[in-house]
């Protein structure tokens, strides 16, 4: 990613001192999965299991973890596309988890989402101008056609596309161009929170950097709060002020980005770091054996116990809770001192 900055972003004092825009507390999202044998009792799948975090205006929280850790389920819950089992999602003091579709609809002006597959997220029968303007038609019906078209042209320019392309269809664009269209479509309603669900994972590395830089520029201009989901820590480092590491629906570690990369505290975070090109060669590799346990049958203690090189009897018996360490990071491990040594 040649266009990436050399280091991680540090939260400015202006951002750090602001009140949270989004507050998530003890969030749980469980599914019932039925076996092919219909007479058996359904199994509860704990996709998200007790998540806590805050997000301030102008701040980016990166969320990382392997496939199946609950990242996308969390994203869908934040934008009202996934029912919540328990807990709270407070946006400007209002609990989104208690709202039905009708009550949530006005908040769609404030909370928008960018999806992983840029082409699949666009209607192939609509021109890109129509796709970008559709949120205005749905959420701001009082805006007339001429004004709507003017805003579409404005946003095409903001995301680096010519306004003359408004009458073309998605299949005529590259993946990176389609993702620029998706960004314009999400931001044309001027939201305060943008949820990005792996928005660059389907793009070439050089295009990834362009999209990340575009998001960073728009965040500064619009004072956006970003929730940025990815499985690649090096991508998250480019954009995030803080990083939250998830595994099987739980938070393993949360810290400011520079702190996390300088001194990862949890064994799982260290294993993810080991997969990054340029990882400190003096550090022993911590590549993980096997596959994650099933979220339908998680271990009774720490969910990471079956793959952790440090696992011991306490790890099998009790669930570790997030603890704050001297660096300001929070990690869920029974042996924090040994990990950070």
Read off the pLDDT of residues 143-191 as tens digits, 9 standing for 90 and up. Answer: 999 999 999 999 999 999 999 999 999 999 999 999 999 999 999 999 9
CA 227/CA 194 separation, integer angstroms: 6
- Model pLDDT for residues 203-236, shown as the tens digit of each residue: 888 899 999 999 999 999 999 999 999 988 888 9
Q: Where are the alpha helices (DSSP H) in the chain?
A: 13-16, 71-78, 101-104, 128-139, 145-158, 175-187, 205-222, 233-239, 257-262, 267-274, 313-317, 336-340
Residue 32 CA, chain-centre distance (Å), reads 24
Distance from chain centroid for Cα 194:
10
Q: Reading across the β-sheet that carries 43-55, which strands appear in turn?
A: 43-55, 22-33, 86-91, 94-95
Whole-structure pTM over 0.75, yes or no? Answer: yes
Q: CA 3, 70, 263 angle in degrees (round to 5)?
A: 55
Distances from the Cα of 315 to the Cα of 135, 264, 291, 320, angstroms: 48, 19, 18, 8
Token readout for 133 is 């303007």
Q: In whole numbers, what is the pLDDT of the chain averaged over residues?
A: 88
Rounded Cα distance, 32 and 204, in Å? 37
CA distances from 281 to 6, 52, 185, 275, 277 (A): 19, 33, 43, 12, 10
Q: Measuring CA to CA, which residue among 333, 317, 266, 247 is closest to residue 48?
A: 247
pLDDT tens per residue across span 34-57: 666 666 777 888 999 999 999 999
* Alpha carbon distance 132, 135 (integer Å): 7
Task: Quote the CA–CA distance of 78 and 93 in Å, as a whole number.
Answer: 14
- Which of 197, 225, 266 lies closest to 11 in space, CA to CA? 225
Range 296-318 average pLDDT: 88
- Residue-wise pLDDT for 56-100, tens only, equals 999 999 999 988 899 999 999 999 999 999 999 999 999 999 898
């Amino acid at each position: 990613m040649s266009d990436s900055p050399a280091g991680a972003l540090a939260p400015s004092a202006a951002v750090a001192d602001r009140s949270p825009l989004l507050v998530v507390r003890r969030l749980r999202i469980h599914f019932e999965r039925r076996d092919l044998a219909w007479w058996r009792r359904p199994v509860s799948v704990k996709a998200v299991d007790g998540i806590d975090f805050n997000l301030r205006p102008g701040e980016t929280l990166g969320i990382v973890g392997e496939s199946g850790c609950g990242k996308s389920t969390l994203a869908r819950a934040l934008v009202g596309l996934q029912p919540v089992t328990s807990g709270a999602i407070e946006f400007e003091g209002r609990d989104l988890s208690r709202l039905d579709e009708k009550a949530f609809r006005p908040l769609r002006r404030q909370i928008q989402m960018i999806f992983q597959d840029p082409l699949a997220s666009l209607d192939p029968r609509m021109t890109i101008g129509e796709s970008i303007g559709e949120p205005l038609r749905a959420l701001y019906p009082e805006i007339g056609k001429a004004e709507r078209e003017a805003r579409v042209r404005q946003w095409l320019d903001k995301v680096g596309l010519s306004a003359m392309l408004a009458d073309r269809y998605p299949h005529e664009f590259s993946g990176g161009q389609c993702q620029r269209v998706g960004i314009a479509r999400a931001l044309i309603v001027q939201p305060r929170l943008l949820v990005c669900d792996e928005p660059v994972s389907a793009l070439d590395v050089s295009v990834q950097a362009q999209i990340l830089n575009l998001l960073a520029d728009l965040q500064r201009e619009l004072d956006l709060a970003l929730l940025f989901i990815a499985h690649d820590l090096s991508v998250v480092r480019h954009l995030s002020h803080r990083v939250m590491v998830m595994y099987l629906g739980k938070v393993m570690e949360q810290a400011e980005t520079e702190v996390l990369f300088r001194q990862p505290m949890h064994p799982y975070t260290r294993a993810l770091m080991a997969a990054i090109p340029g990882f400190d060669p003096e550090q022993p590799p911590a590549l993980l054996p096997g596959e994650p346990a099933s979220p339908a049958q998680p271990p009774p203690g720490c969910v990471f116990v079956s793959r952790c090189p440090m696992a011991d009897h306490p790890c099998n018996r009790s669930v570790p809770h997030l603890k704050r360490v001297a660096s300001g990071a929070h990690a869920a491990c029974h042996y924090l001192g040994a990990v950070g040594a």
